Amino acid sequence: MEISLAKEVKRLCNERTFAVKKLNKKAADKLATRLEQLKAAPSLAYMAKLPGAGCHQLKGERKEKIAVDLYGGLRLVFQPDHHRVPRKPDGGLDWIRVIKIYIVEIVDYHRG
């Protein structure tokens, strides 16, 4: 897949030393792994089937975004980055046709 990065996550995704400092070593390691998996994936549907990735669509204020597990409660959150978001006839996201993503945040959204 083609990956674009929000300004807020660019340094975390591109500088391992910075990611280790800001997240922790295990989370930084998993972030690097997830980025490689996303780059190698032919589409988002691949990530949904990848064991341990925990790839899932979000709800509420993060509706239309997708997350994959990193470490602990941290998630890598992204959204389709298409001019027109690929949809199924029922209006749901067509994961097979999502081949571009925009990473928006790295967050533990379960912490209150």
> How many CB atoms neighbour CB 73 within 10 A?
12
Distance from C-alpha of 70 to C-alpha of 89, rounded to nearest angstrom: 32
Within the chain, strands assigned E span 2-5, 56-57, 66-69, 75-80, 100-107
pTM, two decimal places = 0.94
Segment 59-69 shows an average pLDDT of: 92
Domains annotated for the chain, with CATH where assigned, are 2-107 (3.30.2310.20)
**What are the tens digits of pLDDT across the range 2-57?**
999 999 999 999 999 999 999 999 999 999 999 999 999 999 999 999 999 999 99
Q: Among candidates 68, 41, 58, which has minimal Cα distance to 93?
A: 58
